[in-house]
Amino acid sequence: MKNYYFLIAFLIFNISVSAQISPDGLLAYYPFDGDVLDHSLNSNDGLMFGGTFEEDQAGNQNSALLLNGVDEFVDLSVFATPFRVHLEEFSIYFKIKFEKTEDSQTILSLGSPGEDLQTNVFEVEYENNQVQVETETGNSAINHELAIGEENSLFDGEWHEILILLKDDSLTYCKDNDVIYKGLYVPAETNSNNFYVGCYGGTSNGPCCFFGGYIDELQFYNRLITKDELPVSNTEIISNHLVSFYPNPTQNSVKVSLGKTYSDLGIRLYNLKGETVLIDEFSGVNEFEISLPFSSGVYFLQIYDRNSKEKMVPLKIVLQ
């Protein structure tokens, strides 16, 4: 049965289809667009303890969280219970870029210092020079450290997409469209109500092991998600490094400059629920402007070549 789940996880991660964020099973979504609010329908809003909002991978301003690796983190303890109770079937997705190249950095941490079920941990961390999932079991807090990533694989100054799929005692770890690890792990036994991004221990008992770098598009699902529900990977798109768009945030319209002329271009604008709210086509253009007569919120603009069917990274637009 375990091998069946690994096969399913591998297959669904390698299906090539267009991407969006799915509301199906979405427990919490943190796009870090100038805040640490939960942009799902569940209102699991975080609390910032330091940190700034900077350019994301696509060059959008104020669209990725930067933590200094010294004393900054986000408290998501409001989400601790939904996180904990769904670990038997769970998906974690985020984008990350390390600035700090030291060992012992905590990316996500459920739990706090202690030796009982109220403090036992489930952690995603960079320790021993590789990505690890650490869990604790029993009232004696027996520690289990599972290395799931290659050594020094994230200390390259580049953005990486991380997907972790959990099913009972099975774990699959994917990085940038590649399955890096698939095997068994020891599920955590914990009743902890503490959950943090960027540190271990949080506001009490002396937090430690701070993450230094950028994190973006943090998503949690109560099921195994498929690739079509993830943001489009850079390996599948036409280059958009010449693209610029402004203003963003906006109150009504956005002007997009493509940096080159496209003979036959299509666009699709969709909301956080994955619902299409605008479709249009352009011929022989190097720029265009769209109006957004919709309610305020976060939207994604997908631009694609209608001839080659290739896509650009979706542009994240904030309508105020």
Position 241 scores a pLDDT of 63
Give the pLDDT band of residue 90 (cuts 50, 70, 90).
Answer: very high
Q: Is the pTM value of this prediction over 0.75?
A: no
| Bond before 23 cis per omega within 30 degrees | no
Please check the confidence at residue 126 and state whether its pLDDT lies above 80: yes
115 in Cβ contact with 103 (< 8 Å): no
Q: Output 147 or 233, whichever has higher pLDDT.
A: 147
Position 307 scores a pLDDT of 76
Average pLDDT over residues 17-26: 57
Torsion angle, alpha carbons of 308, 9, 131, 57, to 10: 30
CB contact set of 28 (below 8 Å; sequence gap of 6+): 38, 40, 42, 44, 76, 79, 82, 218, 219, 220
Question: CA-to-CA distance for 1 and 30, rounded, in angstroms?
Answer: 33
Q: Which domains does the chain have, with CATH numbers?
A: 2-234 (2.60.120.200), 237-319 (2.60.40.3080)
263 torsion bin: left (phi>0), alpha (psi -120 to 50), beta (else): alpha
Please check the confidence at residue 232 and state whether its pLDDT lies above 50: no
Give the pLDDT band of residue 243 (cuts 50, 70, 90).
Answer: confident
Which range (44-58, 106-120, 255-269) has the least confidence? 255-269
